[in-house]
Amino acid sequence: MLFLYNLLLLFASQIVKVAALFSPKIKLFVAGRKTVFETLESKISLSDKTIWFHAASLGEFEQGLPVMEKIKEEFPNHKIVVTFFSPSGYEIRKNNTIADVTVYLPLDTKSNAQKFLKLVHPDLVFFIKYEYWPNYLNELKKLNINTYLISGIFRENQAFFKWYGGFYRSALKTFDYFFVQNESSKLLLQKLGFNNVKISGDTRFDRVVAILERDNSLDFIKQFKNNTTTIVIGSSWPKDESLLVNYINQTNEKVKFIIAPHNIKSEQIQELKNSISKKVILFSEKENTDLSDYDVLIVDTIGILTKIYSYADIAYVGGGFGNPGVHNILEPATFGIPIIVGPNFSHFAEAVALVHQEGCVSIANQNELNDAFSNLISNEDIRHEKGHICSTFVQMNKGATDVILKHICNK
């Protein structure tokens, strides 16, 4: 089976090179891997001690960040190496301050795995949430390098738990320990005979709790808000925006809107701006302007949404009309803000929990969106109640990082 896997991987690597000619994202995927080994050779010496974290993309990096920070405190003499599989993670976080070296993960061939591990020679390895690369894992096992899965989550429909999943299950045998998010994940692993597993919870809670300790002030948002009830719309997609724009254009409520779309391509930003009939301005147009005069601010940049949530009275988190579903609701939740999402949230445990606890409201159509906004805008007590549910939920679920570090460091 491993032979077939390697053959398919070789075939896929050639297909990707052709696809790179037509897709900017795939072009980054291919081009970014060309200098990985050169970068590693220049930044890591044979005498260096290293610890390697692998994240599939941006979300997994953010998930692993609290553990990276604690590991760096516990092992100050080690270099931190972070790898990404996806351009959407690497391109945004390639200049992060936590890692000493940040690169793409070379494709999972045996020769790549051997060369990568020879150059990095890590003492500890952490895979974040998922991605199980057989050749890398097999080589780690051969070299007796302690390898951990953190914030892991398993579901019955995954290949590991199917009759044909023997090849995938063998990859799991290479891990020294599994730190999983919930009881069901632990039980699924135990059914396969894995007892080297502990429920640690989700490290994302630790990350969003830490957000409260930093300076989240943005003077231009304060000026725009101008002590007015403000709805922050984060990571919106066109299906979200079609409903939201209808509401924005027809509402008579005294309320302001900040929209931070998932896609900030200029043509789509301009199309969104043109669809709004109220007084609207872009982030890129804000200089030398009195923002308090505007009703809608569209954020055509990245990296500041988390801080913007700190000014919200109500949050709408996008993605819930697509697949796999809603984006990160924990960032607004940590600020104690009531949240509205679309109908597709069942793949995300925190969203399921907060909808059940009524801190988060799920809507499926225009009328439900209108009612949810109107209810929260007009009733401050309900806003505070739902916001309190959200912030309490985050605080009650923090601590995963400490569980992991206690085990790793034998404390």
Q: Do 82 and 61 form a contact (C-beta atoms < 8 A)?
A: yes
For residue 318, give both structure tokens: 């996008």
E strands of 225-317, at which residues?
A: 230-236, 256-261, 280-282, 296-298, 314-317
**Strands of 122-128's sheet, edge to edge?**
101-104, 78-84, 49-55, 122-128, 146-152, 177-180, 197-199
* C-alpha span between 98 and 373 (Å, rounded): 39
59, burial (CB in 10 Å: exposed 0-12, middle 13-18, buried 19+): middle
Q: CB neighbours of 267 closer than 8 A, spacing ≥ 6?
A: none
| 151 phi-psi bin (left φ>0, alpha ψ -120 to 50, beta other) | left
Residues in the chain, overall count? 411
321 SS3 class: coil
Catalytic residue status for 41: no
Distance CA 15, CA 26 (A): 11
Catalytic residue among 60, 139, 241, 331: 60
Beta-bridge partner residues of 315: 232, 339
Strand order in the sheet with 314-317: 280-282, 296-298, 256-261, 230-236, 314-317, 339-341, 360-362
What the block records as the tokens of 1 is 């089976």
Residue 9 neighbours by CB distance under 10 Å: 17
Helix H or strand E segment including 224: helix 219-225
Q: What are phi and psi of 341, to 5 degrees?
A: -135, 165
The rounded distance, in Å, linking the Cα atoms of 268 and 282 is 12
| Residues carrying an active site annotation | 60
